[in-house]
Amino acid sequence: MKANKAFKNYIEYIQFPYFRNLEKDTRITFDFPLTVFVGQNGSGKSSTLHALFGAPKKNTPFDFWFSTAVDPIKEVSDGGDRHCFFYAYKDGRGRELEVLKLRILKRNNPDYWETSRPYTKYGMSPLPSGKRNEPIEKNVVYIDFRSELSAFDKYFYFKNPHKSSTIKNKQDYLRKYSVFLRRIIDGTERIITRYGIRRSEPLKNLSSEELEWISYILGKEYVSGKIVKHRLFDDWGYSVIFETITYTYSEAFAGSGEMAVVRLVLEVLSAAQYSLVLLDEPEVSLHPGAQKRLKQFLLDQMRLKQLQVIISTHSPSLIEELPSSAIKVFSQTPTGKFNVKSEIIPEEAFYHLEQTNPNKKTIIVEDHLAKEMVSGVLSKMGPAISSLFEVSFYSGGASVLKKNFITVYSRESIWNKYVIFDGDQNKCPHFNPDSIIELEQTNAKFQVEILNQTGCDVVFYPDSNPDPIAKSNQEKALRKQYLKYFLKNVFYLPQRIPEDIIWNQQLAEQVLLAMGDDSTINKINSATTTKEKFRLLSVALVDDSTGIELYEKMFLKHWLHNPDNNYNFLVDTINTIRNSS
């Protein structure tokens, strides 16, 4: 839908040359219409939502961020920049328009924001004669679920009444004024006014669509519901009456998650087409199943009304199954500032949430050196990516993996285990069994293709069925599944063996010359394999061929610190596995 320009007045990206604790020039792109912000507490997620709230015409971040004596705002950065951000949207003709919003300190308004002409020093495109683009016109729905308390909870947990002869505690207060709330619910009074002050809004009966979505998200069957905004309990807030098949109750006995879902459903269903929906921690007080269904509700409404939805969250349930383009991770840099990383897969985001990743992928290699190599590359790629994988090797080499392990993995459809063979096992291009017509998909054909790819005879064990045709069909199905597994889950190192990748002739000569041994250099030059070269190096330096592992580690460390094409090849392989499903 986005590629086909279904989303009008859509914020394509937002950039922060200088804004609160975000790293200078942080840019966030919105490639997927539902975006989630992930990160530690205090990492700038909510601040970014506040900036997005202030982006459209007539809106300002001042509603959420302002200067006080306790928390004064540093108006100008060390580089001379004022707090600002700019964003881009496309007009009706498809032209991308950039809009800069700048905080200006005025004597009578210390928290004033204005739309400014573009600054080329920020990388913005200049406009003629100091002109500026008009801000985007967009309805905004903003809900901070940490503050979504019912009218009852606001009073009960945060207020104390003025005591009198009839009111000795907060329970007495709530009992007294709930009488007026009852009149609204029963329909005997439409609006409550006391002492000339309006105390309520009209009662709203929840529609069938609203009840259907609330029931779906919460996993309950609501027969009816009513909601009213009032200040009968001192401050303005909402009260809801729920009716299920078995009983009726108010928000006083409902979970806070129920109130939050009612507010969300009502706000989103009533939102105008193309609205910007900003949700701060919608998972509060919701169990994982409800969180997943809430996400489905948002996706449904996003498709129906072309909404742009942006969520700040700590919930793995809201993150999982989203494309990497939807996930933005906020993380702290050594300077104390926070940057934003894009193209993060859900499992990698779990690392930043300090959540155990239940979907780790296992990479299996042929030997210990290959394991150290893959593990070293993963470590260089960063802890978030490294956390997605386990690296293992099993004794027996390639033939054992092909004959035993892959047959089990393919038969049981264990798709989260991947094999990286040495390059010498790359016999021929992998064969896709679905690339030929069904008539040609025979047991014999699959047997030949497996032999071509593996170089060995792989035996399959169908169920003990006395019917030879049924047995042959089972064997064919097992071979087909094996070929599919090989096609998707088997990879190769870029050289014949790991030693070929890490061997460095210049380093070897430097080590030998430092030891005063130039005779071994000639022997090494005459050796036909890198395994033999490592053996000669070990014998020359420690008079013992068993020291090979020590020098392999030394050469591996040198290789990891001096990446070459082989290193880049392995990074690409890991990224392919990382992004596979």
- Regarding whether 73 and 177 lie in a shared domain, the answer is no
pLDDT for position 364? 92
Mean pLDDT, the chain, whole residue set: 88
pLDDT for position 191? 86
Q: Is 68 within the bounds of a domain?
A: yes
Q: Is 377 within the bounds of a domain?
A: no
**pLDDT-wise least confident of 115-119, 137-141, 296-300, 463-467:** 463-467
Domain that holds residue 205: 151-253
Average pLDDT estimate for 485-495: 96
* Domain C-terminal end among 440, 467, 492: 492
pLDDT for position 357? 61
Q: Who wins on pLDDT, 108 or 455?
A: 455
- Regarding whether 535 and 436 lie in a shared domain, the answer is no
* Domain C-terminal end among 350, 374, 404: 350
- Regarding whether 156 and 127 lie in a shared domain, the answer is no
User: Which CATH number goes with the domain that contains 318?
Assistant: 3.40.50
Q: Determine what percent of the chain falls in helix, strand and coil, rounding each to the nearest 5.
A: 40, 20, 40
Q: Is 365 within the bounds of a domain?
A: no
Average pLDDT estimate for 37-47: 85
Q: From CA 482, how far away is CA 458, in angstroms rounded?
A: 10
pLDDT for position 76? 81
Record the pTM.
0.67
Q: By percentage, how much of the chain surpasses pLDDT 90?
A: 44
Q: Is 433 within the bounds of a domain?
A: yes
**pLDDT-wise least confident of 231-235, 265-269, 545-549, 561-565:** 545-549
Q: Is 93 within the bounds of a domain?
A: yes
Q: From CA 229, how far away is CA 198, in angstroms rounded?
A: 11
pLDDT for position 256? 65
Per-residue pLDDT at 546 exceeds 80: no
Q: From CA 219, how far away is CA 258, in angstroms rounded?
A: 11
Terminal C-alpha separation, the chain: 23
Average pLDDT estimate for 523-549: 83
- Going 558 to 562 to 567 to 572, the CA torsion angle's sign is positive
Q: Is 179 within the bounds of a domain?
A: yes
- Regarding whether 503 and 487 lie in a shared domain, the answer is no
In 306-403, which ranges are continuous DSSP H helix? 316-319, 346-352, 368-381, 383-386, 397-400
Q: Is 383 within the bounds of a domain?
A: no
Quickly state the pLDDT bin for 146 (edges 50, 70, 90).
Answer: confident
Quickly state the pLDDT bin for 543 (edges 50, 70, 90).
Answer: low
Total number of domains constituting the chain = 4
- Going 371 to 373 to 376 to 380, the CA torsion angle's sign is negative
- Regarding whether 247 and 327 lie in a shared domain, the answer is no
- Regarding whether 525 and 405 lie in a shared domain, the answer is no
- Regarding whether 547 and 517 lie in a shared domain, the answer is yes
Query: In the numeric block, which tokens belong to residue 446?
Result: 């699959």
- Regarding whether 117 and 31 lie in a shared domain, the answer is yes
- Regarding whether 185 and 94 lie in a shared domain, the answer is no
- Regarding whether 81 and 29 lie in a shared domain, the answer is yes
Per-residue pLDDT at 353 exceeds 70: no
Write the DSSP symbol of residue 126.
Answer: P
Query: In the numeric block, which tokens belong to residue 29?
Result: 């792109």
Per-residue pLDDT at 383 exceeds 80: yes
Q: From CA 181, how far away is CA 316, in angstroms rounded?
A: 39
Write the DSSP symbol of residue 403.
Answer: I
Alpha carbon of 145 to those of 150, 263, 301: distances in Å?
11, 9, 19
pLDDT for position 271? 96
pLDDT for position 168? 85
- Regarding whether 436 and 544 lie in a shared domain, the answer is no
Q: Is 38 within the bounds of a domain?
A: yes
**H helix or E strand, kind and range, residue 377:** helix 368-381
Residue with tokens 């009726």: 248
Q: Who wins on pLDDT, 10 or 64?
A: 10
- Regarding whether 180 and 137 lie in a shared domain, the answer is no
* Domain C-terminal end among 492, 527, 542: 492
290 close to 265: Cβ distance less than 8 angstroms: no
pLDDT for position 480? 95
